[in-house]
């Protein structure tokens, strides 16, 4: 694998090796000595071939969605990946694929998800699991449950998410709103490589976002919303976030997960967090990135911490839930 071409995340090989070791137990066994990403996919093919039961076809299809995506990024075919053939692409793409596939293998399979696994109402839980299987993105099960729990508890009416991507984090909020019987989530998303890299975050990140197939991601998102009858809860504003802020007088629940560049992340806090009503909720993702530190500081001057989601392996802060302090709800 050509890591020289894709210098990302400091020592890429170490990070990738760790991701392989973390993902491997989802195959049902411990990683062998010298576990490699190619070995993971070879072992994955055996797990998929052996999958049985009513939920197996849906689970296999969901996993293959991530395999196909990775194969397209690596400019090869899925069969080659599953054969254990060497391939090359950005390490972050591989790490995301490993995490998504491992989450699917660990989850109750789509279509047979038993109610009560997460403590959420069954319909909310099954929508979260369905989204994990069908939509690309970075919203972990832990974060999805946290978003849904918060919306169920706080009963917000005006929810805003900056950065829909494939909808993985928007769906848990929409599902909880449907359960509540009131409220809508306004998703703000440009679905544009040019907007995504308008201000630099880091070279590898910008490189990745420049080649994303946003048309397919947008199409699959809309298809999902229609298929799952969530259209009443979801409003999409397809625009750069800075252009849409003026549409909102008061926000009850805000999820900031758009561009992670220093400038855009801080701008999203300045333009949107001040519109959250006193007592309203702000969720801020990727708080541990260097590029989001300024935005995090700004947010902490406006809000009280409520809860922090941490990486289960590293213990690092990942996603902050905060409550807006008293004061004027608008700029
Ligand atoms: C980290 S992803 C969102 C992930 C998603 N919330 C999830 O959990 O899977 C960030 C998204 O923000 C979008 N984005 C980046 N800059 C933006 C901007 N200035 N305005 C609107 N959307 C933007 C990108 O297109 C991308 O889809």
Ligand 1 binding pocket mutation candidate from 100, 165, 216 (most atoms within 8 A of CB): 165
Residue 190 CB–ligand 1 contact under 6 Å: yes
Of 329 and 127, the structure prediction assigns the larger pLDDT to 127
pLDDT of 37 strictly over 90: yes
With H, G, I as helix, E, B as strand and everything else as coil, classify residue 144.
helix
Mean pLDDT confidence for 113-133: 84
pLDDT of 276 strictly over 70: yes
Residue 283 CB–ligand 1 contact under 6 Å: no
Give the global pTM: 0.73
pLDDT at residue 54, as a whole number: 62
How would residue 329 be classed by pLDDT, with cut points 50, 70 and 90? very low
pLDDT at residue 42, as a whole number: 92
pLDDT of 149 strictly over 90: yes
**Which 8-state DSSP code applies to residue 245?**
G
Residue 240 CB–ligand 1 contact under 6 Å: yes
Dump pLDDT digits (tens) for 205-243: 888 888 899 999 999 999 999 999 999 999 999 999 999
Q: Which positions ≥6 away from 209 have C-beta within 8 Å?
A: 193, 196, 197
Residue 189 CB–ligand 1 contact under 6 Å: yes
With H, G, I as helix, E, B as strand and everything else as coil, classify residue 159.
strand
Parallel, antiparallel or unpaired: strands 276-285 and 317-324: antiparallel
pLDDT at residue 299, as a whole number: 97
pLDDT at residue 267, as a whole number: 98
Can you read off the two tokens belonging to residue 254? Answer: 């805000």
Mean pLDDT confidence for 169-195: 97
**Which 8-state DSSP code applies to residue 197?**
T
pLDDT of 158 strictly over 70: yes
- Residue 255 near residue 311 (C-beta atoms within 8 A): no
With H, G, I as helix, E, B as strand and everything else as coil, classify residue 210.
helix
Domain with CATH 3.40.50.150 in the chain: 122-324
pLDDT at residue 108, as a whole number: 63
pLDDT at residue 206, as a whole number: 87
Q: Looking at the domain covering 122-324, what would its CATH class be?
A: alpha beta
pLDDT of 252 strictly over 60: yes
């Amino acid at each position: 694998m050509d890591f020289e071409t894709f210098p990302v995340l400091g020592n890429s090989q170490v990070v990738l090796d760790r991701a392989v070791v973390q993902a491997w137990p989802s195959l049902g066994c411990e990683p062998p000595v010298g576990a490699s990403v190619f070995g993971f996919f070879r072992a994955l093919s055996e797990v998929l071939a052996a999958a049985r039961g009513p939920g197996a076809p849906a689970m296999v299809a969901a996993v293959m969605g991530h395999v196909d995506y990775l194969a397209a990024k690596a400019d090869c075919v899925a069969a080659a990946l599953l054969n254990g053939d060497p391939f090359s692409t950005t390490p972050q793409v591989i790490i995301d694929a490993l995490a998504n596939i491992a989450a699917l293998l660990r989850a109750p399979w789509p279509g047979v998800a038993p109610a009560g696994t997460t403590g959420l109402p069954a319909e909310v839980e099954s929508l979260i699991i369905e989204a994990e299987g069908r939509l690309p993105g970075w919203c972990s099960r832990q974060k999805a449950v946290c978003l849904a729990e918060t919306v169920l508890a706080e009963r917000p009416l005006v929810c805003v998410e900056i950065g829909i991507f494939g909808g993985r984090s928007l769906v848990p909020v929409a599902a909880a709103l449907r359960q509540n019987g009131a409220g809508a989530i306004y998703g703000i998303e440009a679905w544009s490589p040019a907007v995504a890299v308008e201000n630099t975050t880091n070279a590898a990140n910008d490189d990745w976002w420049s080649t994303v197939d946003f048309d397919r991601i947008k199409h699959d998102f809309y298809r999902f919303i229609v298929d799952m009858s969530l259209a009443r809860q979801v409003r999409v504003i397809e625009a750069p976030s800075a252009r849409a802020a003026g549409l909102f007088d008061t926000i009850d629940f805000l999820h900031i997960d758009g561009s992670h560049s220093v400038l855009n992340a801080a701008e999203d806090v300045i333009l949107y967090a001040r519109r959250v009503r006193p007592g309203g909720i702000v969720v801020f993702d990727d708080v541990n990135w260097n590029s989001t530190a300024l935005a995090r500081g700004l947010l902490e001057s406006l809000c009280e911490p409520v809860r922090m989601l941490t990486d289960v392996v590293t213990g690092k802060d990942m996603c902050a839930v905060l409550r807006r302090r008293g004061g004027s709800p608008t700029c």
